[in-house]
Amino acid sequence: MMQASKVTPKVVAELNRQANQELSAGHSYRALSLWCEDQNFKGFARFFAKQAGEENVHAGKITAHLVDRGVLPELAAIPAPKNNFKSLLEAAQHAQAMEHSNTQGINALYEAALAAKDYPAQVLMHWFINEQVEEEAWSLEMVERVQAANCAGGFSDLDRHIERYLEKPKGEGLAKDE
Ligand SMILES: [Fe+2]
Ligand SMILES: [Fe+2]
């Protein structure tokens, strides 16, 4: 960070806010993973642990962008996550609510980047906007599948298959990336 940054203060503030929101989501997914493990929902626990890792990668994409543009990122205190849930449905709904608020955060950042004509931040946000389409899709599917599994046997069967259910179908022409 040797020269004055050309990123506007508003966009800097939004990038910092979103980086911290991603870290906070990662913290919440770790708590969800631990709760699921404690309840013997090992499939959900693995799925949420993977999400925790991904949210940390997302935070890293934003902080790397700031550093590359001459701005030292400002990490904030991360609030305690929700650690306890009444049911698997409440846990799934919590994940879905987090993804909704993450989408709102990304949209707010994108609007700030549009207003500032900040093209690099806009392009960075294109990746995140796409990512949120996937995150919203799996979190809705998770809630729907938990709602549909309404007996103990149904829950353990769902737990056994949840990671595969929420995966994107693989195959020629099916995956968006690769
Ligand atoms: Fe994220
Ligand atoms: Fe996410």
pLDDT in tens, 104-152: 999 999 999 999 999 999 999 999 999 999 999 999 999 999 999 977 7
Measure 55 CA to ligand 2 centroid, in angstroms.
6
59 residue type, one letter: A
Distance between CA atoms of 100 and 136, rounded to whole angstroms? 7
43 residue type, one letter: G
Measure 107 CA to ligand 2 centroid, in angstroms.
14
Measure 15 CA to ligand 1 centroid, in angstroms.
13
136 residue type, one letter: E
Measure 11 CA to ligand 1 centroid, in angstroms.
18
Measure 153 CA to ligand 1 centroid, in angstroms.
32
Interval 63-89: pLDDT, tens:
999 999 999 999 999 999 999 999 999
Distance between CA atoms of 109 and 122, rounded to whole angstroms? 9
